[in-house]
Amino acid sequence: MAPLFNGVALLLALGFRRNRAVLVLIVLTLVSLAMAGFALPSPASRGVDATRMFAPWLLLVAAALPERGLLARRNLTLLLASGIAVWLTMAASDPLWPRLHGVLPFGWLPWHAGAIAAGLIFAAAFVCLLRWVVSGVPMEAGLGMVLGLAGVAVLPRMDSGASNLALAMAGAGATLAVLYASYRMAFVDALSGLPNRRALDEALGRISGDYAIAMIDVDHFKHFNDTHGHDAGDRVLTAVAGELRRERRARAFRYGGEEFCLLFAGARSRDSVRMCDQTRQRVERMRVRLRPAPGKVRRGQAVRRADVVDAKVTVSIGVALRDAEARTAAQVLKAADQALYRAKSRGRNRVAAG
C-alpha cells in the first residue's frame, strides 16, 4: 500500500512540476519498497537498516534544496546519491554491510539507529515548516507533514505494519498537498492571496438568482509605481486586498492589474451599494507605509536615504445588479465596469451604481 500511495504522489508531483516534492517522494517511494523488502537480499531486515542509514540524509538534503528545475545540477547529484544508496543496499556483500551499518547514520552515538534516523527526518520536516512560516507557500507545509510521518515510520518501536501505515499516510498526504498547491496556482492570485480571474469566471458560471458585481479600481495607481517603485505598488495592492477580504458579506477576487471584484449573492445584493461604500471608506482610512524609489545617482554624489511615508489610498467602485436589462453574468460584469468608469470620471474615491 505505501509504495502505491507514494508512487501515485510522485507521478502527480512530476506532472505538476513540483520538483522538490519529486525528490522527497522518490526517496519515500524507495523507502516504502525497502521497508516492504522488495527485491532485497536476505536478511529481510536489510531494507529497514538501509532506510535508517540512507534515507535521513537524502530527505534532509531534499528539504534544504531550493526549488529548481528537476535536472538542475544539485538535484541530479541527489538523484545520483539515491541511486548509489539503492546499489549499496542491493549489492553490498555480507561482510561490508555491517561496516556500513556501523557508520550510518551516526553509528558512534549511543542511541538506537532508528531514533537517530527519525531525528534527522524530523529536522528535514522542521526545515520545510520553517519555510512555510516565512514564505506562506502551502506546499512547504505539506512537505513538512509528509516528512513528519516518514520520521514516525522509522522510529525504533514501530513494527512493519505501523511503519507501512505511516508511509502510506505520507503518500496520501503528499497527494493532497500537490493537488492543493496546484489548485492554488490555478485559482489564487499569488500577490494578494485572493481568488483570481479564473476563479471569478468559475463562480459566475455557477451563480443564479439575485446577485451583484462590484468592480474596484485603485485610484492613481500608476502614480504609486512611478513615485515609489513597483514594490510599493505591490504593497498597496496587498493592503487593498486585505481590506476587501474583511468584507464577509461578499466574495473578493483579484480581477487583474489594479482591479478587484466583489461578488454579492442573494438578498445581500440589494444592499451592495451601501456595503461597497463602507468598504471604500475603510480603504480611505488606512495608510500604507512606503519607501520612495531611489533616484539615479551620479558619480561623486552621496546617496540620500529615502524617507518613509504613510501613503493614503483610495478606490473607485462601480456596482451593478442582475436585473431585467442585465441578465447574464457577462452583462452584469459589463454594467459594473461601465459604472466604475463613471465613478472615476466623476472624481474618483466614490461608488457609482449601474
From CA 309, how far away is CA 235, in angstroms rounded? Answer: 13
CA distances from 124 to 60, 76, 128, 131 (A): 5, 19, 7, 11
338 in a domain, yes or no?
yes
DSSP string computed for 32-78: HHHHTTTT-PSSTTHHHHHHHHHHHHHHHHHHHSPP--TTSHHHHHH
81 and 156 fall within a common domain: yes
Domain co-membership, 22 together with 90 = yes
Task: Provide the mean pLDDT of the chain.
Answer: 88
In a shared domain, residues 162 and 27? yes
Same domain? 137 vs 218: no
Please, which residues have CB within 8 angstroms of residue 265's CB and are 6 or more apart in sequence?
207, 209, 210, 211, 250, 251
> Distance (Å, rounded) from C-alpha 154 to C-alpha 164?
10
In a domain, 162, yes or no: yes
Q: Which domain holds residue 150?
A: 2-187
Q: What is the mean pLDDT of residues 193-210?
A: 91
Measured distance CA(253)–CA(190) in Å, rounded: 12
Where are the strands (E) in the chain, listed by range?
211-218, 251-256, 259-265, 287-290, 309-312, 315-321, 351-353
For the chain, how many helices (H) and strands (E)? Answer: 13, 7
pLDDT at 302: 45
Is 178:146 a contact under the CB 8 Å cutoff?
Answer: no
CA distance to 20, 69, 210, per residue, from 146 (Å): 13, 21, 44
Residues 175 and 251 in one domain: no
Interval 124-137 mean pLDDT: 93
CB atoms within 10 A of CB 56: 27
Measured distance CA(314)–CA(260) in Å, rounded: 13
Question: CA 302, 303, 309, 313 torsion: positive or negative?
Answer: positive
Structural contact between residues 151 and 118, judged by C-beta atoms closer than 8 angstroms: yes
Final residue of a structural domain among 162, 187, 212: 187
Residues 16 and 146 grouped into a single domain: yes
Which residues neighbour 15 within 8 Å (Cβ) at sequence distance 6 or greater? none
In a domain, 110, yes or no: yes
Cell numbers that stand for 352 in this block: 457609482
CA distances from 8 to 13, 34, 75, 167, 315 (A): 9, 17, 21, 13, 47
Q: 148 and 80 share a domain? A: yes
Instruction: Provide the 8-state DSSP code for 111.
Output: S
Backbone dihedral angles phi then psi of residue 242, each to the nearest 5 degrees: -65, -40
307 and 160 belong to one structural domain: no
| Mean pLDDT for the stretch of residues 239-243 | 94
Return the closest-CA partner of residue 240 out of 282, 203, 190, 297: 282
Say whether both 166 and 218 belong to one domain: no
Do 128 and 245 belong to one domain? no
Query: Is the pLDDT reported for residue 118 higher than 90?
Result: yes
User: Cell numbers at residue 283, please?
Assistant: 480603504
* Assigned C-alpha cell, 81: 546519491
User: Which of these three, 187, 218, 244, is where a domain ends?
Assistant: 187
Among residues 130, 155, 187, which one ends one of the domains? Answer: 187
| Statement to judge: residues 147 and 202 lie in one domain | no
Residue-wise pLDDT tens digits, 242-297? 999 988 889 999 999 999 999 999 888 889 999 999 999 999 999 888 765 555 44
- Mean pLDDT for the stretch of residues 294-308: 52
Q: Is 192 within a domain?
A: no
Kindly state whether residues 108 and 77 are assigned to the same domain. yes
Say what the pLDDT of residue 107 is.
Answer: 75
Query: Residue 144's CB: how many other CB atoms inside 10 A?
Result: 22
- Given a cut of 70, whether residue 39 has pLDDT beyond it is no
pTM recorded for the entire structure: 0.76
Report how far apart, in Å, the C-alpha atoms of 58 and of each of 34, 72, 298 are. Answer: 15, 16, 50
Q: For the residues 110-128, what does the mean pLDDT come to?
A: 93
The tens digit of pLDDT for each residue in 46-76 reads: 888 889 999 999 999 999 999 889 899 999 9
CATH number at residue 211: 3.30.70.270
pLDDT of 81 = 95
Using DSSP's 3-state secondary structure scheme, residue 212 falls into strand
Total number of domains constituting the chain: 2
Q: Measured between alpha carbons, how far is 237 from 260 in angstroms, rounded to an integer?
A: 9
